[in-house]
Structure 1
Amino acid sequence: RHRLGEASAELVFDEPDGRFFLHCFRTSSERQLVILLNSKTTSEAWVLDADHPEQAFTCLAPRVEGHEYYPDHGLLEGVWSWFIRSNQSGINFALYHAAEKTG
């Protein structure tokens, strides 16, 4: 983390496995920050409420060799939700939906 105008910075995330690329982005809702780690066949996502950037990232689902998933966040029928494209059921990807955990 780095505040503009300050000299110091805090390490937010470190991925020691050189097979993984790190991507950081805001979801479509702009309410969540995502750190997405991808290798050729495996992924892992860490998420954080964008309104509370001082908090720690939480792992959405731990990496499992051969499982790729790509999360996004948005509003569905008035409920903040996660939309996850995943190949958990085989080589083809499917789209999954999960309501955001509250409280």
Structure 2
Amino acid sequence: AWLDAVHLDAERGMMARLDPRRLDVILANLIGNALKHGGSPVGVRVRTEGEELVIEVRDHGPGIPEDVLPHVFDRFYKASASRPRSEGSGLGLSIAMENAHIHGGDISAANSPDG
């Protein structure tokens, strides 16, 4: 169902040593979160910077409040305590971060002026 909601920008032939199951967990959490909070389409750009693989996930939502940004990868963190539990456990981005760290990588979140 994501095929119509996600736009992929990646060169063919890129190679990386990684665990595909962990990459799937990372992408599923990042893209799922972007779709939930920013709507579609979600852009995913894959590129290399030297020896590093860089994956950018971008949505066109309203952005994350500046006071929330430092906490989005904290376990169980939700931007609003009034959000019902059914909207998520607050673990998805934390799980994505843990999987990135296992690969020696990192994840960051930022707001873009154009969404």
The TM tier, using the shorter chain, reads 0.3 to 0.5
User: Greater strand share, 1 or 2?
Assistant: 1
**TM-score scaled to structure 1, two decimals?**
0.32
